[in-house]
Structure formats: structure tokens, C-alpha cells
Structure 1
Amino acid sequence: MSSIKKVVDKAYDGRKIREYLKEELGLSSRLIRSASVDKRIFVNNKAVKMNYILNANDNILIDLMKDETQNIDPENIPIDVVYEDEDIIVVNKGPNMVVHPTKRHQSGTLANALMYYFKESNQKCIVRLVSRLDMDTSGLIIIGKNQYAHMELSKEMTLNNIEKRYLAVVHGHMENAEGTIDLPIYRPEEEGTIRRVVDERGQRSITHYKVVERYKDSDLVECLLETGRTHQIRVHLSHLGHPIWGDTLYGKKDDNIVIKRQALHAYGLDFKSPRTKKELSLRAKLPNDIENLIESLK
């Protein structure tokens, strides 16, 4: 059973358990309400209401597992699990895979694969995405296994406390070996467009970059995101005159048969475990299609 266990400090003696859960554990009102209704909050092994008055040294247990359903069919699709514990699972998504079902892609998604994985491993979880990637971008994605983990990591994501590192193969040589791109990104009000542009009307967007390797007429560039706008890396690099190989939306249609998508890979995540606050540093190696592209450019 996935749960949070705590012993009440004397500072909370005589106070309501609701106050303790919000102040000491940082739980949201929504999570507290849900767990209370389902009778998943216990003090000294007895389910309690939220007006319960605490005593010092009371043993609190919050059962994080909730019976939930999700309208996503399990599909036997292999997934690359990079890290897993009772609260989260981090997977290395392959290229050309949609993360979550859409009208155009109702099956074959990462969410379908995860539902099958949870079912086969006897885990009563639904797919709670903390992060997402475009269909053609490969790399690491975080999924929360329970409401608590999802809430904590989503909050960390909003505060930019989750470090996201990418590798991109770009056309040409960057003028500077490293630097910061601080340019606003805007979505033009054109019907049906998904393309973004650098425009002063947009949101502030910050990408730190460093050239890792140089090839004949291309660079392998590491990008560290300070903000997380849609298509941020692709827009920023293209704006500098160095579009990513294979990116037909922000670059050019490459006369290239080596790679059939943008050469962009989310290779690194650094963040704290939602439960233990232990630092996690996760990495995923470059996929074969990007490795093959690099070999062709040397």
C-alpha cells in the first residue's frame, strides 16, 4: 500500500488534523477532501474526520491509493522504465509516439502502454502525466502513480524546480560555444496553426545552451530549460539560424533519409522525490536514429 506515515509533533498538540495535513504535509484541500470522504486518513489505526483534535505522538497514516478508472485501453507496447518507486515512474519515450490518446491517435500511445504495464504489475494506478513531450521528441517523461505525487511534482514543475536537459543536433555551427537565449515566445492567432514565433507579445522564455560536439557543418547542443514553453527549444534555435535536423516545422525539409523527425531528445531530469525529498538524477542515452544521424554528419 502506498501511504504517508507521520508521528505528530508536540507543536500540533490540540490542533485539528486538517490544519496538520495542510501546514505540515502541504497537502491540497482537494486531496484532503478526497481522502477524507473515502475514509483513507487514519489516526492510531482508526479512520477520522477532519475536525479530529490531535495529540502529540499520534500516528497518522494517509492511504494514497484510490479506486479510479481511466478511459484508456491497456495495450501491450514495450516501455523503457528508467526509474520507478511507489510514487512515480519515469520512462524513456521512443520517437514517433504520442504521449496521450487524442482524436487522431486513439491507440498506440504511451498512456496505453502504461495502463497495460500497471495492469500486468498489479498496480492500481491511472496515468497522471507530470511532464509531456511532442510525438517526435524522444526522452524522459515523469508519471505520478498517485494524487499526492502528481500534485507535488506538478507544483515543482510550475516553480521550475525540475531540471530538464535536452540534446539537439542543429544545422551549422553556433556562434558561441555556450550562452542563454532569453526571447519571448508567442503563438500567432492563425486558425489551425501550432507554430510559435519569437515575438515581444509572447511569454518570457529562457533556454541555456552549450555545444557538446562539433561536426562538419552541424553541432550537438545541450539545452537546459529555465522555462517550459511549447516548442521552446525548436523556436529558439531556429530563431538563431540553427534549426534542428529533421524539424520541418521550424527549419527546412532536409534532403536527408537518416532521420524522419526532429533530432531532439530529453535526456536528463533532476528533481527531488515527492516523498523522501531525495535528489534524483536520471539520464537516457541518445536513441539510434539520432546516433545514426551524428555518424552521418561526422
Structure 2
Amino acid sequence: MRKGPSSPRPRGGAFSRGSAGAPPKTFKVTEPGELLSFLLDKLAPQGRNSVKSLLAHGQVSVAGKVEKLYNYALKPGQEVEVRKDRATVAPPLVGLRIVYEDDAIVVANKDAGLLSIATDRETELTAYRQLTAHVRIANPSARIFILHRLDRETSGLMMFAKSESIQQKMQDNWKDVVKERTYVALVEGLVKKTNGTIESWLKETSTLKMYSSFAKNDGQHAITHYKVLRASRNYSLLEVDLETGRKNQIRVHMQDIGHPIASDKKYGAKTKPFSRLGLHARVLAFEHPVTGKPMRFETDIPKPFLSQFGEKPQG
């Protein structure tokens, strides 16, 4: 997985910057050494056990990141911060892993089963809510702005902005900024045509189900490209590239060609090899909204997809 050029934010614990408690003490590192020895010198006459307790309770940070290792190797130029109050650390993320973060964006890998963002009727745990809590550890007023969504039962890469201006900039230039959005889809049946393009105009019923119209301009224009990676009598594994990003686009287009996504009863699937959709957002590539540098992230094909072909997972 390749990371972009922006300096990523450390993903260990982070200090809460609330106003409660005494202000932190900050010390500049002038020569190499171990963290515990450095603290014993700077905090003298504070005892060894007391300093160890500060480390154990997350009250010491190095270069903005909570550090608990006694023998952490300090480098000249770093700042060590010691707080009297214990650090507030973000709760563990559930069904979500941060793969990249800087001051402008967060890229995360979402598990199937987790909502991207809550609806009026659903206020349960979501990717959006968890990442909001995550960024507010360092800054209680911080916010997260969603750039695109994945269906609950679809897994894979998502991107969020850290400001409304970044969100607006990226969404206004989405076709130019986003260079690649590649999915893998496990679909029913043997797809005989090894690659192809599906084009239609998507519309929505009163029950919020999407469907294709093939009359020009009768709905939202949608274009999907696919390539067969694996194929058997029962299932085919496709690499799917989105030229447009419409609601349920891949699910509708796979139904249109007679090969609905595995476990997708809503869009015509008759089999259920697992309890999630056979759809995973595998690759996300884009220009960084601040630096303009190319960034690309790639994840593994989910194990249950490969197991339908008797294969073990990659890597």
C-alpha cells in the first residue's frame, strides 16, 4: 500500500486538549537518549515510580503522540510533553481501520455490516460517528465530512475530508481528482464475456430501489467497466471500475447483465454463500486535495470471495 506525501498524523493515543487541569510541561530534547531517563532528569526530584506511572497512564507524549515505552529512543529536536491529568484516548474502532490520515483527509477500510453514515431512522454505530470521535480526541471541535458512501454490506476503502472546504473542493472536481475506484465483485453464474462496459440511466422507485433505464438521459447516467478475474460454473469474480459513482450502480448493472452480486437478494441474487454482499471497494486512487500529489491505496480480495474458487487468500 502506497502512502501519499503528506505527513500522516500518528495513530497512537492522542492527548485531549480540553481546558481541565494544569497546563502541560514541555521539554525540548537536545541529545539522544531514552525517554525514562530523560523524564527522571527533567522531573527531578519526582521519584522513579511516579514517573513510570505517568508513562503507564498515557500522560507523556513525544512529538504529539502518546508514548508509554520506558526505552523509547529520543532524538534531538523532539518535544516531550507531560500532563498532570491523564490522557483521553479514543475508543477502539469497530469494523473500521484507518489506513491513512493527515490534516486534510482520512482514508479508512470499512468492514461489511457497518453503516457509512446514519439515516434519520438509524442512529447506530457508523464509520462517520467513529471517525468523528477519533479526530475530536486531539481537537474537541474537529469534524469529519463524508466524500462518498459504501452500502452497509459492502466492505472496502472510503475517504473522508476534515473540513467543509476540502469536501467541497473534492466533490466539485470528483471526476478529475479521483483517478481510480476499483471494486471486486463476486457474482452469480459464469460470466462468459471476459470484459465489458455497462451503460444505463439509473432511476429510483418509491421504495428506494434503483433500476436501469436504457433511454438516453432518462435518469442519472451510469457507466461501469468490468473484467473477469476468476470464473466457475456457479460464480465469477470480477474487477469492476466505476466511471460514474451512482447509488447501487454496480448492484444494478450486475443484475442487468444477468449476473447479480452474490447474496444480493434485493437485486436478484438467488444464492447466499455468505451473510454479506459479494462486493468490496478494493482500490482508491486520487490527487491529494492540498498537495496535488498522487495517492493510491489497495486492499486484499476478501477471503470468502476467493474461497468460492477453492483458493486461499493472497499474501
Normalising TM by the smaller chain, what interval? Answer: 0.5 to 0.7
Q: Tell whether the 8 Å contact from 2:188 to 2:261 is kept in structure 1 after alignment.
A: yes
Q: Which runs of 5+ in 2 are unaligned?
A: 1-5, 7-89
Q: Tell whether the 8 Å contact from 1:259 to 1:290 is kept in structure 2 after alignment.
A: no
**1:117 equivalent among 123, 134, 153:** 134
Aligned residue number for residue 305 of structure 2: 290
Deviation per residue, 1:182-217 (Å, 9 max, x gap): 2222224xx323232344223321111111122343
Residue aligned with 1:152, SS: helix
Separation in 2 of the partners of 1:75 and 1:194?
Answer: 36
Aligned residue number for residue 267 of structure 1: 282
Separation in 2 of the partners of 1:216 and 1:296?
Answer: 15
Q: Which runs of 4+ in 1 moved over 6 A?
A: none
Is 1:175 the equivalent of 2:175?
no
Query: For residue 195 of structure 1, what is the amino acid of its counterpart?
Result: M
Q: Which runs of 5+ in 1 are unaligned?
A: 3-73
Q: Tell whether the 8 Å contact from 2:191 to 2:231 is kept in structure 1 after alignment.
A: no
Q: Tell whether the 8 Å contact from 2:202 to 2:210 is kept in structure 1 after alignment.
A: no
**Alignment TM-score, normalising by the size of structure 2:** 0.64
**Alignment TM-score, normalising by the size of structure 1:** 0.67
Aligned residue number for residue 96 of structure 1: 113
CA shift in 2, pair 1:85/1:160, >3 Å: closer
Aligned residue number for residue 207 of structure 1: 224
**2:296 equivalent among 263, 267, 281:** 281
CA shift in 2, pair 1:193/1:275, >3 Å: closer
User: Once the two structures are aligned, what percentage of the paired residues are identical?
Assistant: 31
Q: Tell whether the 8 Å contact from 2:235 to 2:308 is kept in structure 1 after alignment.
A: no
Separation in 1 of the partners of 2:270 and 2:260?
Answer: 11
Residue aligned with 1:154, SS: helix
Residue aligned with 2:286, SS: strand
1:115-194 aligned within 5 A? 115-122=132-139, 124-157=141-174, 161-188=178-205, 191-194=206-209
- The Cα shift of 1:265 comes to 0.4
- The Cα shift of 1:295 comes to 3.8
Deviation per residue, 1:40-98 (Å, 9 max, x gap): xxxxxxxxxxxxxxxxxxxxxxxxxxxxxxxxxx9753331121111100001110111
Query: For residue 124 of structure 2, what is the amino acid of its counterpart?
Result: S
**1:235 equivalent among 252, 259, 262:** 252
More deviation in 265-274 or 202-211? Answer: 202-211
CA shift in 2, pair 1:123/1:224, >3 Å: farther
Q: Tell whether the 8 Å contact from 1:171 to 1:218 is kept in structure 2 after alignment.
A: yes
Separation in 1 of the partners of 2:256 and 2:177?
Answer: 23
- The Cα shift of 1:120 comes to 3.3
